[in-house]
Chains A and B, each alone.
Chain A
Amino acid sequence: MFDALSDRLERIAGRLRSRGRLSDADLDDALREIRVALLDADVEIGVVRTFVEGIRARCAGEVLSKSLTPGQQVVKAVHEALVEALGGETLKLTYASRPPTVVLLAGLQGSGKTTTAAKLARWWKQQGRNPLLVGADLQRPAAVEQLRVLGRQAGVTVFSEPTDPVAVALAGLEEARRLGRDICIVDTAGRLAIDRELMEEVRRISAAVQPHYTLLVIDAMTGQDAVATARAFHDALELDGLVVTKLDGDARGGAALSAKGVVGRPIVFASTGEKLGDFDLFHPDRMADRILGMGDVLSLIEQAERTMDKEAVARSAGRIMEGRFTLEDFLEQLQQVKKLGSFGGIMKLLPGVSKDLRQVADRIDDRELARVEAVIRSMTPAERADPSVIDASRRLRIARGSGTSTADVSQLVKQHREMQKLVKGMAGGGVPAVPGLGSVPGGRGLGGLGGLLGGGRQQLAALRALGAQSSDEGGGLAALLGSASSAAGAGSLDAVAVGGAAGTSRPKGQRAGKSKKKKGGRVTPPKGR
């Protein structure tokens, strides 16, 4: 499904010969993979063509980096180019000297204009402005009613009348002036770009209200059609910017690149959910990650922060990195992971996660996690602390209590033992091969985050390269990834903990008051760092 670009390049990395410079053949191989990745991401085929040629020009004859494979070097160039293409000039929102500032929203049916209008109103209201919403969609049943409800939620007045869209827009503008509002947001009906009549109508609306900003609202899951649509709306209305919606889905979002490529105007806002607050300025770097299939890590983090108990997760991470992994710990970790939502979905988003692991994650039913949880819950605290005490009769009791089989219970106990060895090994630095993990790429002699994620040092090096040049908030991320990659080299997780998770050492002191975890849960004394 979502073969990350890094996976593809892993495959060709072996074939690339290091000769000091990126040869044409090397480039061709890499660019072919990138082309596929971009097409899979729904970037329009013409845009892909131009883009890839641009990369070729950029990379041709480039000196091979010491720390990256040629494939990764190309990925880095692609990522840079994507961020530029998606970002570049940003829209400087200025406000009309004679209010109100008029904002017109246009787009296809179902793209999210009405919700976006309300979100915009709320966004501006939070900045201290005083917007008016004008409902000029008289085509869709109950569209104005929808806007009214959303307006109530946002605390913004909505104006509409059952005449015709051009008249409503004009009357709305008048009303905004009369009320002394400084922003007038006009929602219009969805329309097909090839519908001549309706495109003419929106032109007339635009001519009537003379918007200061005309924004095209485009759905992140749009496919190849993005270009045709963007071009048509741009020709008709001269767009000032784009809004990409439904980014809370898992569509890669290549349409953003396509549309921007055609329109040449900035993507201003990103809509990330159905609630009015799910709205923010657009981040080109996150979008670039997403398009390349590298997972919108930062959004994942934000989502995690929203849903998971940060302290609990950091505590768990800290414990793992100190080499502690009891069933009690695991249970707690499961709780947090459950909150995050679809397990398989999230695994796919993580960068550096090997393809094998991701494929498994695909198959993992959230129900399986529930089963594991049930087994652990059926154990007594003593059993969780020290599973070696679990004999046949206890096994039977646990199996009955959790609705599983004694074989399942034994298997979990056995796996816990394996994992405990593994985790202790990681904390200590380097560990002998764990049976059953031989298939993990770079798995033999696991040591460090890189090994755990199965991607090996190469993946992390690539990530570091990406992190190093992504924007400011990547600063912290880059530091982490940088230290993670050196950790992979050094073979321990210590650097990871030091680099980023300063918080993980904190909870120790706070544990007394806050932790639900039983003190007796620790079987072996923590290995010193």
Chain B
Amino acid sequence: MVALWVVLAVLALVVVVGSLSYAVRPRRRGGGTAAKARTRTAPRRPPSSPSRTATIAPPGPAPAAPEEPSGSGGALRSGAGAEEAVRLGTVAETPPLRERLGRTRGVFAGLRSLRGKAVDPGAWDALEEALIRADVGVATTDALLEDLRRRVRDREIGGGDELVDALRGDLVDLLSPERRRDAARGDGAGGPSPSDASGPLADSVAPVGRGLRFDDEAGVVNVWLFVGVNGVGKTTTVGKVARQQIAAGRSVLLAAGDTFRAAAAEQLDMWARRVGAEIVRGAPGGDPSAVVFDAVQRAAARGSSLVLADTAGRLHTKVNLVEELKKVRRVAERPPGRVTEVLLVLDATTGQNGLVQARQFTDAVSVTGVVLTKLDGTAKGGIVVAIQRELGVPVKLIGLGEGPDDLVPFEPAAFVAALLG
């Protein structure tokens, strides 16, 4: 059961916190104390930098009593009503993933310059830099490069050209474990083999297992749960997925499971109207599990087979919020509901904390896949390499903008090509 370490750890924690909390005067909010505090530190600055004294101007006298708005209605215009025309119709044609990623990419001159040259220390530096800049992370980068080094030593890889191609291949393989598995099986009848198309850049083979699971059984309401930390794009993603699923002919219901954030339900509501889906909402501040439960019941009653459940952004460090999420999943799992996807929505700009998020959310609610959003920006989202490598959680979808059609399936080769520039 409990290791001695637990007891030791608790003691340590209590002692440290208990003693420290009396030693340290907490900072008070607001300008006063902070201002004094900063003045005191001024003399400590090394002479080279100009020392500025305490800086937040102390609260001055408020200006003469302001004219109050004549009835709050006058000054305020309703901005929330910015209604979008409901867009129905087919999902728009979107340019291929590689093109959309390509237009945002900087050029890694370093990697290009490797072509045609021998493998020298500069080459390794360039590779390392490319991977680190892509947020792949030190540990994964080291592992990848170590393997390449071995192969160079064993003369499996020759010059600079081969090195970059080898890295590309490794990354693609890493991001498509189903393909490796099928190749290892070696049966022609099995899934696609990586040598199917010409060269390591081929992405004509859609990896198995990357689709969104949908159980087409009578009486089953599929629930796809969207989870993640704050600000990653969960609600927008729900809207986009709804759009796609409706276009595919499924009957979709949205559950406004974010009962915490101001106007979260309103935001999802606008998406529902935009894509033509029904939505179930709860009272602000209410129990998100109740909303999801209601949504499943309603879906069953209406004969809808899919509920897309939005949840509130939550930091994985907050125990009570994680517990709340576990409860949401449990409730969603009650018949006729069946949780067939738990999608972790991850912002492509996220650094190494993305791996921590993935780990914690997976531990809590068994994440089945990642939706990588905001990949239309300059960030590369390389953290998903580490996530796949260490947790085995695949990326299923990629978000490329704020519009309803800006969602595409994840293609490892295109992603890697953009990653390495």
Asked if A179 contacts B66 (CB within 8 A), the reply is: yes
Asked if A40 contacts B350 (CB within 8 A), the reply is: no
Asked if A89 contacts B377 (CB within 8 A), the reply is: no
* Residues in B neighbouring A145, C-beta threshold 8 A: 79-80, 262-263, 266-267
Q: Majority SS of interface residues in chain B?
A: loop
* A503 interface hit (Cβ, 8 Å): yes
Within 8 A of B (CB), among A126-151: 126-130, 135, 138-150
Which stretch of B46-54, B174-182, B409-417 is in the interface? B46-54
Contact of B23 among A157, A360, A405, A476 (CB under 8 A): A476
Given contacts A193-B377, A316-B14, 9 further A-B contacts (CB under 8 A): A42-B353, A127-B31, A145-B80, A146-B264, A221-B353, A223-B349, A418-B4, A419-B8, A473-B25
Asked if B1 contacts A250 (CB within 8 A), the reply is: no
Residue of A whose beta carbon sits closest to that of B377: A192
* Residues in A neighbouring B7, C-beta threshold 8 A: 330, 372, 415-416, 419
Asked if B82 contacts A175 (CB within 8 A), the reply is: no
* Residues in A neighbouring B52, C-beta threshold 8 A: 89-90, 92
Write out, one digit per residue, whether chain B residues 11-33 have a CB within 8 A of any chain A CB (1) or not (0): 11111111111111111011100
Question: In the assembly, what is the distance between CA of A416 and CA of B324, in Å?
Answer: 33
Asked if A112 contacts B231 (CB within 8 A), the reply is: yes
Asked if B347 contacts A110 (CB within 8 A), the reply is: yes
Which stretch of B67-75, B89-97, B146-154 is in the interface? B67-75
* Residues in B neighbouring A193, C-beta threshold 8 A: 377-378
* A345 interface hit (Cβ, 8 Å): yes
**Closest beta carbon of chain B to A16's beta carbon, Å:** 22
User: Provided the pairs A110-B231, A357-B5, A480-B19 are in contact, do residues A160 and B352 lie with their beta carbons within 8 angstroms?
Assistant: no
Which stretch of A61-69, A317-325, A383-391, A509-517 is in the interface? A317-325
Asked if A436 contacts B4 (CB within 8 A), the reply is: yes
Q: Jot down 21 A-B pairs with beta carbons below 8 A, ordered by A.
A: A42-B135, A84-B49, A92-B52, A127-B59, A138-B82, A161-B77, A179-B66, A192-B378, A250-B356, A301-B24, A316-B18, A320-B11, A337-B13, A347-B9, A360-B3, A437-B8, A471-B44, A480-B20, A480-B24, A493-B15, A504-B22
* Residues in A neighbouring B249, C-beta threshold 8 A: none
Asked if B20 contacts A297 (CB within 8 A), the reply is: yes
User: Provided the pairs A452-B12, A472-B37 are in contact, do residues A314 and B18 lie with their beta carbons within 8 angstroms?
Assistant: yes
Residue of A whose beta carbon sits closest to that of B359: A1
* Residues in A neighbouring B200, C-beta threshold 8 A: none
Which stretch of B111-119, B185-193, B291-299, B313-321 is in the interface? B313-321
Asked if A476 contacts B25 (CB within 8 A), the reply is: yes
Task: For the complex, count residues of B whose C-beta is within 8 A of A.
Answer: 113
* Residues in B neighbouring A42, C-beta threshold 8 A: 135, 351-353
* A401 interface hit (Cβ, 8 Å): no
Contact of A158 among B30, B76, B135 (CB under 8 A): B76
Asked if A162 contacts B62 (CB within 8 A), the reply is: no
**Closest beta carbon of chain B to A170's beta carbon, Å:** 14
* B104 interface hit (Cβ, 8 Å): yes
* Residues in A neighbouring B380, C-beta threshold 8 A: 224-225
Contact of A368 among B6, B27, B75, B229 (CB under 8 A): B6
Asked if A146 contacts B267 (CB within 8 A), the reply is: yes
Contact of A139 among B4, B269, B402 (CB under 8 A): B402
Residue of A whose beta carbon sits closest to that of B66: A180
Asked if A317 contacts B15 (CB within 8 A), the reply is: yes
User: Provided the pairs A320-B11, A357-B9 are in contact, do residues A251 and B267 lie with their beta carbons within 8 angstroms?
Assistant: no
Contact of B57 among A92, A123, A222, A369 (CB under 8 A): A92
Question: In the assembly, what is the distance between CA of A497 and CA of B22, in Å?
Answer: 10
Asked if A317 contacts B14 (CB within 8 A), the reply is: yes
In this complex, which of B1, B16, B77 has the most chain A Cβ atoms within 10 angstroms of its Cβ? B16
Asked if A341 contacts B317 (CB within 8 A), the reply is: yes
Contact of B11 among A248, A341, A366, A423 (CB under 8 A): A423
Question: In the assembly, what is the distance between CA of A320 and CA of B18, in Å?
Answer: 10
* A10 interface hit (Cβ, 8 Å): no
* Residues in A neighbouring B263, C-beta threshold 8 A: 142-143, 145-146, 148-149
User: Provided the pairs A84-B49, A471-B37 are in contact, do residues A368 and B1 lie with their beta carbons within 8 angstroms?
Assistant: yes
* Residues in A neighbouring B352, C-beta threshold 8 A: 40-42, 223, 251-252
* Residues in B neighbouring A226, C-beta threshold 8 A: 349
* Residues in B neighbouring A476, C-beta threshold 8 A: 23-25
* Residues in B neighbouring A141, C-beta threshold 8 A: 84, 266-267, 270-271, 274
* Residues in A neighbouring B38, C-beta threshold 8 A: 90
Contact of A180 among B59, B63, B267, B402 (CB under 8 A): B63
Per CB-CB distance, the 8 closest pairs between chain A and chain B, nearest first, are A223-B351, A317-B18, A110-B231, A500-B23, A160-B79, A42-B351, A144-B79, A180-B66
Asked if B19 contacts A302 (CB within 8 A), the reply is: no
In this complex, which of B11, B19, B270 has the most chain A Cβ atoms within 10 angstroms of its Cβ? B19
* Residues in A neighbouring B129, C-beta threshold 8 A: 45
Residue of A whose beta carbon sits closest to that of B46: A84
Write out, one digit per residue, whether chain B residues 332-353 have a CB within 8 A of any chain A CB (1) or not (0): 0000000000000001111111
Residue of B whose beta carbon sits closest to that of A99: B63
**Closest beta carbon of chain A to B134's beta carbon, Å:** 7
* Residues in A neighbouring B133, C-beta threshold 8 A: 44-45, 224
* B232 interface hit (Cβ, 8 Å): yes
Asked if A419 contacts B2 (CB within 8 A), the reply is: no
